[in-house]
Amino acid sequence: MPVRSPFSCFCAGALMLAAAALPAGDLPAPVQAKFLKILCAAAGSPGKVACKDSDVLAELEKIGVAQDAGAKVAWGRGGEVKTLKAAGKFVICPKLEDLPAGGSIAVVEEGGKPQIYLHMGNIAASGVTLADSVLKIGKRL
């Protein structure tokens, strides 16, 4: 068995801790907007979404998606998720923690890559039928 220096052991330990501590994070607004455009279309609401986040909304407008408070699909975070679900919206959110509060889909960053999580109960409660392509690529909770 090779003898390792204390420095190499420290580096290996630090890398393991860093990898274990990588939580799911927010994607940048331009990336979030691109996923929203695709998911809105897959949920039967092409080109429109209810969104109050100014950064995400600005990116959505750049790619041809309009803010529509009456849209069935909404983007929200935190306390807003519960309100949107209560209004009967299909809620797309940026954090896994928002799924139990009423989010239907969370689009997060894991290991430097976008990941889609589906909350099947909230999807069913929204009354939205998702395209099979989204159901196949998303991770179900």
Q: What are phi and psi of 52, to 5 degrees?
A: -105, -10
Nearest to 100 by CA among 108, 89, 109, 91: 91
Q: Which pLDDT belongs to residue 26? A: 83
Report the candidate in 63, 66, 21, 38 with the shortest Cα–Cα distance to residue 134.
Answer: 38
Is 30 within a domain?
yes
How much is the mean pLDDT over the chain? 85
In-domain check, residue 109: yes
Look up the CATH number of the domain holding residue 85: 3.40.50.2300
Residue 20 reports pLDDT greater than 90: no
Structural domain contains residue 124: yes
Domain membership of residue 51 (yes or no) is yes
Number of folded domains in the chain? 1
Residue 119 lies in a domain: yes
Q: Is residue 16 part of a domain?
A: no
Residue 135, pLDDT score: 93
What is the β-pairing status of strands 113-118 and 139-140? parallel
Above pLDDT 70, what percent of the chain?
82
Q: Which residue has the higher pLDDT, 18 or 105?
A: 105
* pLDDT band at 24; cut points 50, 70, 90: low
Does 57 fall in a domain?
Answer: yes
Task: Please report whether residue 99 resides in a domain.
Answer: yes
pLDDT tens-digit readout, 47-88: 999 999 999 999 999 999 999 999 999 999 999 999 999 999
pLDDT surpasses 70 at 15? no
Domain hosting 44: range is 23-140
Whole-model pTM? 0.81
